[in-house]
Amino acid sequence: MDPTGTVERSTALDAVFKPVQPPTTFEETVERLGTAIRLGILAPGSRLPPERDLAEELRISRSTLRQALTTLVQSGHLVSLRGRAGGTFVAARPPLGQNAGRDPLGLQTRAVLDYRVAVETGATVLAAERATEDDLASLLDLTLAMDAASGPFEEYRRADVAFHIGVAEASHSARLVTAMTEVQGQMSDVIARIAHPDAVLTSSNAQHKRLITLLRRRDSGRAVRLMREHIVGTEHILAGLMREPSR
């Protein structure tokens, strides 16, 4: 770290600041920076490069970068200070600072995520073929409920769970509904271990709305790709923000 608090470059830092790949640029940026903080590559108190420079290095828009930085400020990983000596700094005591050598997800969580891929993409294929207008209207109502959720995260999460179960219901497969209910229960246990910044929830719900449009068009190929992108985005956020479980 130089005298101004700006991080000095190393091979590890060069990897942190290499270009981010679409389509999950927001989520991957959160993971990249959150993981670097967890591992101590970005040390407590160090200052990130200026926003314009960092956006250029990551090859993302400044609005996407700002969204990711806001997420990490809200999760306690970063702090933003104004004024001549201001900037974006790694928090003095960021989450996971004591656990630099550990994989934040682990085999059990990865198994849940793999199961989710199978269930969610399968349900999406059939929903694109079988969803009725009533099914789609119910899904749209749930996205509006997520937009309106302004209280505790549990309010948003209840509508989010109902949305994903609703996709399975739109497949008109009782077994997939059962499997989706199981997956969402397991995901709730995992999601409880991260912060829930507004930017993450807004991005996620925007994908929900796009999925409804694709289901209405019977576009199973694009719907599955979007669902896969949705799931990968969640994995990036989990990897970047995961906390140790309570003891």
Q: Are residues 155 and 127 in the same domain?
A: yes
Residue 36 inside a domain? The answer is yes
* Contact criterion met (CB below 8 Å) for 75 and 241: yes
- Boundary residue ending a domain (59, 90, 121): 90
- Boundary residue ending a domain (90, 117, 137): 90
- Mean pLDDT for the stretch of residues 223-246: 88
* Contact criterion met (CB below 8 Å) for 220 and 128: yes
* Contact criterion met (CB below 8 Å) for 191 and 233: no
CA distance 210 to 227: 10
Q: Which residue has the higher pLDDT, 242 or 98?
A: 242
Q: Are residues 137 and 35 in the same domain?
A: no
Strands (E), the chain: 78-81, 87-90
Spatial CB neighbours of 109, under 8 Å, sequence gap ≥ 6: 190, 238
Domain with residue 59: its CATH number is: 1.10.10.10
Residue 87: helix, strand or coil by DSSP?
A: strand
Residue 100 inside a domain? The answer is no
| pLDDT confidence band for 96 (50 / 70 / 90) | low
| pLDDT confidence band for 82 (50 / 70 / 90) | confident
Count CB-CB contacts under 10 A for residue 35: 19
Domain span holding position 219: 106-241
How many domains does the structure of the chain reveal?
Answer: 2
Helical (H) or strand (E) element with 160: helix 153-170
Residue 167 inside a domain? The answer is yes
Position 1 scores a pLDDT of: 45
Q: Are residues 27 and 53 in the same domain?
A: yes
Q: Are residues 43 and 69 in the same domain?
A: yes
Q: Are residues 135 and 178 in the same domain?
A: yes
Residue 246 inside a domain? The answer is no
- Mean pLDDT for the stretch of residues 40-52: 90
The share of the chain scoring above pLDDT 90, in percent, equals 67
Residue 97 inside a domain? The answer is no
pLDDT digits (tens, 9 = 90+) for 217-231: 999 999 999 999 999
Ranges 166-175, 223-232, 237-246: which has the least confidence:
237-246
Q: Are residues 173 and 225 in the same domain?
A: yes
- DSSP per-residue letters across 88-129: EEE-SS-TTTT-TTS-SSHHHHHHHHHHHHHHHHHHHHHHHH
- Boundary residue ending a domain (58, 90, 122): 90
